[in-house]
A and B are shown apart, each in its own frame.
Chain A
């Protein structure tokens, strides 16, 4: 549970995600999706309730869980006045990634930014900057991705990249939690969908054998 000035933004959400499973979170504006995600990303401490990530109790040892986490928001979360390379070097150092000299070019070529490695991120287009965010996200091989509307501002190339990343994550036995407005992606790219409304989880269902249209109808009903 997390309250802001007496109003509960997230209340009584009980979640468990097995390795290799991807969860998407959907719901109308103000449903508490982002707050839930910030709690999962160890950016907010819950006022009540507990969080355990990759076997680490985050109430006391959030620091130990953080190496396993990859967080991406609407923004790429990189320094605009540093070059792509310098940004990755910084985050590589912060996460203690070894062999940065080889891993940075790898990460950059994966998102198609190797030719621009030494340009400041400020000179990038919105889509390129967001791809830069994906490079940052994956540099340290996280076990759990925490994504807040990651498709916002992403170009077609970046969207394909992220789709591929999420697909690869499931087969690699890793997990992802993603907040999104796009019901189609929520169903296609996740194994489970959580529907939130007014800070509460109102539905959780498996996406296996579910088609997006059927889910959209159900979502309309739940959030009306």
Chain B
């Protein structure tokens, strides 16, 4: 057990180093190298972080959903841990998405919050949806916690696209979607920094996930050891 934890730690250090380098590179690139947006000016640069963070938060919920399915099919505390850590990271990333989006809204449209923007509103719904995951987790009885969490992780992930769609349908009737932020028509010099940032944020997610999982794995190993010791002591 201890040798594999050691190996996992070495891998984590490697991953962390690469991620840190990529983060540094993307910060330099986004703020110093990428060209200034003609219409929006400096605030447009928040986009390089805002969009990758938003995407990765959805990826995190997806990871949690897959882990939940694995847990329900095969069992194993490990999958439950992947699930809860992923949802936690997804929450942090969703909150950052709303915060960065809100800053952008203030700079571009002069107000912190725009109900007409379906994406911001949906992320708020998603945050509420996944906040409930933790409430459920803390309320469930010990022997049901992992199972209920897994069921809810699958359930909530199905709710995400429906929330997106419902908010969009509602908006399209009230207001035409006037703010398009599509990144596809960006010039190549912007696009490349977008991708660097996307990879860096992905690395950040992977590193944090591994870090927390390793921590929990060590805790579990410790607990097993303690249990074994107690059994041994009781036997004599």
> SS class of chain B's interface: helix, strand, loop or mixed?
helix
User: Binary interface profile of A, 1-29, with partner B (CB < 8 Å = 1, else 0)?
Assistant: 00011100000000000000000000000
Q: Judging by beta carbons under 8 Å apart, are B142 and A5 in contact?
A: yes
> B138 at interface (Cβ–Cβ under 8 A)?
no
A47 at interface by CB-CB < 8 Å: yes
Within 8 A of A (CB), among B172-204: none
Say yes or no for B10: interface residue by CB 8 A criterion: no
Number of A-B contacts (CB under 8 A): 8
CA distance A87 to B116 in the complex (A): 54
Q: How far, in angstroms, from A196 to B227 measured CA to CA in the complex?
A: 21
Specify the chain B residue showing the minimal Cβ separation from A44: B143
B223 is an interface residue with CB less than 8 A from chain A: yes
Question: Are B223 and A6 in contact, CB atoms less than 8 angstroms apart?
Answer: yes
Please name all residues of chain A whose beta carbon is closer than 8 Å to the beta carbon of B75 when the two chains form the complex: 47
Complex Cα spacing A41 to B72, Å = 22
Instruction: Report the count of interface residues on B (CB-CB < 8 A).
Output: 6
A4 and B143 CA atoms in complex are apart in Å by 6
Residues on the A chain within 8 Å of B227, using CB = 6
CB of B231 to closest CB in A, whole Å: 10
What residues on B are CB-neighbors of A47 within 8 Å? 75
A-side interface mostly: loop
* B-side contacts of A4, CB under 8 Å: 142-143
A5 and B143 form a contact (CB under 8 A): yes
Instruction: Output the residue of B143, B223, B227 with the most chain A CB within 10 A.
Output: B143
What is the size, in residues, of chain A's interface with B at 8 Å between Cβ atoms?
4
Residues of chain B within 8 A (CB-CB) of A6 are 223-224, 227
From A198, which residue of chain B is reached at the shortest CB distance? B234
Distance of A47 Cα from B224 Cα, bound (Å): 17
- In the bound complex, what is the Cα–Cα distance between A47 and B74 (angstroms)? 11
CA distance A179 to B224 in the complex (A): 31
Question: For residue B223, which residues in chain A have a CB less than 8 angstroms away from its CB?
Answer: 6
Shortest CB distance A85–B (Å): 35
A4 to B223: give the CA distance in the assembly, Å.
14
**Cα distance A47–B143 when bound, in Å?**
11
A4 to B140, CA, bound (A): 13
A28-59 contacts to B, CB under 8 A, are 47
Q: In the complex, A5→B227 CA distance in Å?
A: 12
User: Which residues, 179 to 218 on A, are CB-close (under 8 Å) to B?
Assistant: none
Closest chain B CB from A50 CB (angstroms): 15
Report how far A9 CA is from B142 CA in the complex, Å: 13
| CA A6 to CA B226, docked complex, whole Å | 11
Chain B residues within 8 Å of A5, by CB: 142-143
Most-contacted residue by chain B among A4, A6, A47 (CB, 10 A): A6
A7, closest chain B residue (CB): B227
B142 contacts which chain A residues (CB < 8 A)? 4-5
Closest B residue by C-beta to A5: B142
Query: CA of A4 to CA of B146 in the docked complex: distance in angstroms?
Result: 11
Q: What's the Cα separation between A24 and B29 when bound, in Å?
A: 75
Where the two chains meet, the residues of B that have a C-beta atom closer than 8 Å to any C-beta of A are 75, 142-143, 223-224, 227
The 8 A-B pairs at the shortest CB distance, nearest first, are namely: A5-B142, A4-B143, A4-B142, A6-B223, A5-B143, A6-B227, A47-B75, A6-B224
Q: A4-B143, A47-B75 are in contact. List 6 more A-B contacts (CB 8 A).
A: A4-B142, A5-B142, A5-B143, A6-B223, A6-B224, A6-B227
- Can you give 8 contacting A-B residue pairs, CB < 8 Å? A4-B142, A4-B143, A5-B142, A5-B143, A6-B223, A6-B224, A6-B227, A47-B75
